[in-house]
Structure formats: C-alpha cells, structure tokens
Structure 1
Amino acid sequence: MWIPRHGGSLFIALAFIAITPATAASPLPGEPRIAIIIDDLGYSHARGLRAIHLPGPVTLAVLPFTPHGPALAQQAAARGQDVILHQPMQSLSNHHHDPGTLTAEMPYAAFRRTLGLALDAIPQAIGVSNHTGSLLTAQAQPMSWLMNEVGTRGMFFIDSRTTAATVALDTAIAAGVPSVRRDVFLDNVIEEVAIAESFERGIAIARRNGHAGLPSKWTERRDGLLGVGLVEYRHHAGIGTDRNEPFGQRRRGGYAGDGQRKRCKSADVRCMIPPVV
C-alpha cells in the first residue's frame, strides 16, 4: 500500500480566508477566529484518532477509499467534529497514488461517477477540498464539473492552492458554490519554535483581518503542541477557534453540532463562517 509522502502524519492547515469580491469586501465583525483543518487522514487509524480528540474544534479532511477513512469520519462526526472530503486530484507529477484520483483524461461520465463514489464513501462530509491537484485544478472544464456536483449536494469547497495557476476558487464562485482558499503555506519547518511562531503569525493576521490562519506540517512527535496551542491561544490570545466546518456553514436559524451533513444555500461568506463556541 502506498503511504503519503507525509507518512500519514497530521497536516495542520489553518487556512487564511480569502475574502473575494463574490463574498465580502471587509473583515467580518466580532472576535477574530482561526480555522484548523487536519488533512490527509485515512491511512493511519491511530493518528486519525489523535486528530479527532484534539482539545478544540477542528475539521477533519478525509481521503476516500483509504483503510480507515470511513471509520474516522464516523467517529469524528459522533464527537461533533466536522468532516470534509479530501478529494485526490491529478498533479503535475502525474502520479495517481491515491485511489479515486480525478484526472484530466476522464470523460464527464467517469469523472462524475468517481467523484460520486468518493462523496458516498464519506457520507459525513459537508465540504470538499482538493488533495494534490496541481494539474487538474488549473483546468476549467473538470473544475466546472466538480463545482456542479459540489453545488448540487449543497456543500462548500476549499481550494488547497497546490498551484498558483488554480482556477478552482474562481470556478466555484462563478457556480455559486460557497468557497474559500488556503492563502498561506508554512509547513517547511517542523519544530516546536516554528509551530509556535506559526500560531503567532496566524493570530496577527486574524486580528488584522478578522479571520485568518496558516498551515503547518505535523508529525507524531509534535502532535502535542497543537493541543497546547489550541488551549493556550483560545484562552489567552483573544482568538477564537471555529467549529462546524473549517470556515463554517452558518445558515439562517443556526447550525447543528451533531456532525451530520449541513447545507449552505448562500455564497455569502457569512454563510461559511460560524460564530465561535
């Protein structure tokens, strides 16, 4: 079995929210917030459980068709943590290591069937993000097919921005799909000091823009620091941590915390960013 290059480790993606013209032009009112997504889950059950039991609200991005993905998604939902589908997509390296990878060569019927099976494999998912995809996310036609399915299912999309040439976010906006992007990428130094500095930088961005974050690679020997960071920064830095989706799906009338799939009918960013609880 192929193991991801991160060794199935926890990958923390506190993704800076890009406020696009289709959403809002100024920061949202209220307490600054940081959103945390844990990517690449499904290959290791033990590491997935550690992510689920972190002392704070996080969102689990689960790869479809992995040995432990379905069970982890179910357990996360049972604990009230939100789950998104981390959909594999073709990269420029053209290595289709993950089962269910969407490729540029797929005709529409095969693309839709593969995506549908992936979504059905993780029924707890309330949104979709791309895993790899530096080739596919730069192509308008498959992104249009993707957003059509995501929108039809009432889900949101997170552009992981694995390439500067991505058209995924623009395609989502054009299709009326609630969407945000990862804007800052800081996972090259896996050390305690570097992770702490990443939190501090995220706090500074959140205070300036209202809602912010940063990504950081995670390994087994460092997973305790995230838990400490969640507690410390939440209670002492005046920064809240989002729950119920990484960038939320707040709807009129509130949202349920039961981990079941929720629906977001508006492309307004306020539909996507929940209050901190």
Structure 2
Amino acid sequence: MAQKRPGKPRRRSPKQQRGRAPTPAALVFFAGVAVAAILLFFGYAFYYLPEKQGPKAPPATQTQPKPQAQAPAPPVQAPQAQAPAAGQSPPSGQGQAQPGGHAPDQTPSQAQAPAVPSTPAVQAPPAPTAPEAKPGNPRLAVVIDDLGGSLDQARDILDLGLPVTFSIIPGLTHSKDVDAMAAKAGMEVILHQPMEAHGNAPESPGTLRSGMNVPEVSRILAAHLAQLPHAVGVSNHTGSKATEDPVLMAAVMGELKSRNLFFLDSMTSPKSVGLKEAARASVPALPRTVFLDNERGQQASLLMLAQAEKDARTKGRAVAIGHPYPETIGALAVWSLRRDKGVQLVSLSKIIKE
C-alpha cells in the first residue's frame, strides 16, 4: 500500500469551498463608516445636545442669587448681635480687670463701642491686656523686732544680705551698739517703743501707758530716741491696751510729727486707733500685714513669708514682722534663695514715701 507524503497540504473539495466568497473591501469600509456615524450620533445626542440646552438653565441659576443675597444679611446682623454683648461686657470686664486695677481706664472705650457697630470687633482684642496691668512694682518690707539685747543676733541678720529694718527696744544692753551697727551696714532703724498691754504683763519703766499726759509721753519718747540716733520711725512693742487709747495715741503722734518720724502699727489689737490718729496728725503710717513667727518654726515662717509675698502682689505692698529667733533667721536665709523676685524687698520708709 502506497504511503502519503508527509507535509503535503490537503486540498478542500469544491463542496467545502462553496459559500465562502471573499468579502469585498468596499463593503467593510462602508460598514465601518456606518458604525462610526451611529456612534457619533449617539455621542451628539447624549453629550452635545444637553450642553446646547444649557443656556436655558441660567434662569434657575439666576434665581439662586436671591437666597444668596439674603445670606449675607445674617453676617451683617451677626456683628449687630454681638454689639450688645460688647455693650454688656464692661461689667464682666470690670470684674476681671479688678485684679489689674485698671478697669476704670477701659470702661469709657467699651461704653462708646455700641455707637459704631464695627468698632466693638476692632476694640475687643485689647481687652485681654487688661489683666496684665497689675499694681506696679509690688513691695515688701521685713522688720525684725526686739533687737538690742544681743550683738550676735544683729550679725546674723546682717549676714542675710537682705534690706531688713532693725526695730530696736530701748534700754537694752546693746541697743546703742545695734543702732550703730545697722546704720553702718546701711540698714534702716526704728524705735520699738514699749506700750501698755492688756493683763498683768510686766512693764519696763519707759512704757507708755493709758492716762499719761502729753509731757510724759514727750519725755519718754525723747529719752528713747536719744539712744537710737539713726531711728527714722517708731513702732509699738506689745501695746494692745495703749494703742486702743485715742488720747494717748494722739499724744504719741504729736511727738512723731514734730520729729518728722513715721509710725508702724504692729496691730497687736484689732481695735487699735494708731493709724486713725496718725492720719489726723498727718503722720505717715503703715499697718503690719503678717507676723512671721507667732508659731515658731522654720516651716511656719516660710509659709508666712509666702503669704506676705501674696499680699504684696495683691495690694501692692506688705509689711512682715518677725523676731530674732534662730528659726526665723533660718527661714529668711532659705527664703532669700527662692523668693519671688517680682516682689521688691525694701525698707519701710521707701514704702511710705512711694
């Protein structure tokens, strides 16, 4: 049997090739053009025609500016709604500015703000600056009472390096020496004059007592001030009863006025008339703010020093009175390292003058 040659292509029979006439190129071309035309038509219908009809939409868009024209009205009314708030702000502003002490200076500008609706918004920002206007340069004076009995106590106070006022009791062993020591170091000196207290407390011969007349008061003060030639003022040692006597205190103030001295009221009695009589006689006077060592102890004294600083910041000035106890001197040494440098430590006379 004869074998077929490999690789020879098989021919289709005429029956198999029947019905497969070649497609004319022109027909293909026109078919493509027709399809393209159909796509362009649909594209025109869906995309181009809506855009051409778009100009009919402006009437709708033109109707929208009307609500937009009304929309700006609320912003215009908003400042007017805030203007009364600004007009009402002075009471609250004054309440907040009281710590700064300049509320009256701001009240006129705030009171005029409602006249022009636009000005409250412009003037409102300065309001936060009001709390910064605190009492300028708060001052604190520290006074150490009952000095004159020990030179060592005086040296310990001088070693602190603080402008402490020396309040010296007359007639003690070293009263004159402490006066000279303090003056040489540039410290301020005042006479710590013994005065009568309630009860049966022992009194020195030079104590001022109720019932004394003017010559007696003048003689005692003159003798004591002679021991302290550098004294620039007088404070009361005890004196809870004496400072309540207006006649006695009027006599004291008359003597201080003639010598151009000031008065520090230790406030040993809440009924003291010392400041009242000093004002009548035109004598400069200050009240004590805190006692540093009513409760002895370094920590207790530190707490009172912090209170004195707070009073100085709040009121502009404060006077702290202590005694030459080791605990008090130790507290002053610690406090001097960490005290509020914003509170200026000064002498009594500097507070009185300013």
Q: TM-score, normalised by structure 1?
A: 0.73
Q: Which amino acid counterpart does residue 259 of structure 2 have in structure 1?
A: R
Aligned counterpart in structure 2 of residue 117 of structure 1, from 208, 223, 238: 223
In the other structure, the counterpart of 1:48 is 154
Aligned length: 222
- Kindly state the Cα deviation for residue 205 of structure 1 after the two structures are TM-superposed: 1.8
In the other structure, the counterpart of 1:103 is 209
Distance 1:216 1:117, change over 3 A: closer
1:223 aligned onto 2:338 = no
Larger radius of gyration: 2
List runs of 5+ in structure 2 lacking aligned partners.
1-132
Distance 1:182 1:191, change over 3 A: same
- Kindly state the Cα deviation for residue 34 of structure 1 after the two structures are TM-superposed: 1.3
Over aligned residues, Cα RMSD in angstroms?
2.2
Give the whole-Å Cα distance in 1 for the aligned partners of 2:216 and 2:280.
23
- Report SS of the residue matched to 2:290: coil
- Report SS of the residue matched to 1:195: helix
Aligned counterpart in structure 2 of residue 146 of structure 1, from 249, 252, 255: 252
Q: TM-score, normalised by structure 2?
A: 0.58
Give the whole-Å Cα distance in 1 for the aligned partners of 2:168 and 2:220.
16
In the other structure, the counterpart of 2:274 is 168
Query: Greater share of helix residues, 1 or 2?
Result: 2
Distance 1:141 1:38, change over 3 A: same
Give the whole-Å Cα distance in 1 for the aligned partners of 2:287 and 2:303.
22
Tell me, yes or no, if the aligned pair for 1:196 and 1:229 is still in contact at 8 Å: yes
**Deviation per residue, 1:180-203 (Å, 9 max, x gap):** 111334533323322222222222
Residues 1-277 of structure 1 mapped to structure 2, 5 A cutoff: 29-185=135-291, 187-216=293-322, 219-233=325-339, 237-243=341-347, 246=348, 248-249=349-350, 269=352, 271=353, 273=354
List runs of 5+ in structure 1 lacking aligned partners.
1-26, 251-268
Tell me, yes or no, if the aligned pair for 2:145 and 2:324 is still in contact at 8 Å: no
Tell me, yes or no, if the aligned pair for 2:143 and 2:319 is still in contact at 8 Å: no
- Kindly state the Cα deviation for residue 221 of structure 1 after the two structures are TM-superposed: 4.5
Identity %: 35
- Kindly state the Cα deviation for residue 123 of structure 1 after the two structures are TM-superposed: 0.9
- Kindly state the Cα deviation for residue 143 of structure 1 after the two structures are TM-superposed: 0.6
**Deviation per residue, 1:96-141 (Å, 9 max, x gap):** 4334111124333222111111111111100000001111111111
Tell me, yes or no, if the aligned pair for 2:211 and 2:248 is still in contact at 8 Å: no
**Deviation per residue, 1:7-59 (Å, 9 max, x gap):** xxxxxxxxxxxxxxxxxxxx995322211000011112211221233211010
Residues 123-132 or 194-203, more deviating? 194-203
Tell me, yes or no, if the aligned pair for 1:90 and 1:133 is still in contact at 8 Å: yes
Tell me, yes or no, if the aligned pair for 1:56 and 1:231 is still in contact at 8 Å: no
Residues 116-125 or 89-98, more deviating? 89-98
Tell me, yes or no, if the aligned pair for 1:150 and 1:156 is still in contact at 8 Å: yes
Give the whole-Å Cα distance in 1 for the aligned partners of 2:300 and 2:161.
21
Give the whole-Å Cα distance in 1 for the aligned partners of 2:167 and 2:134.
25
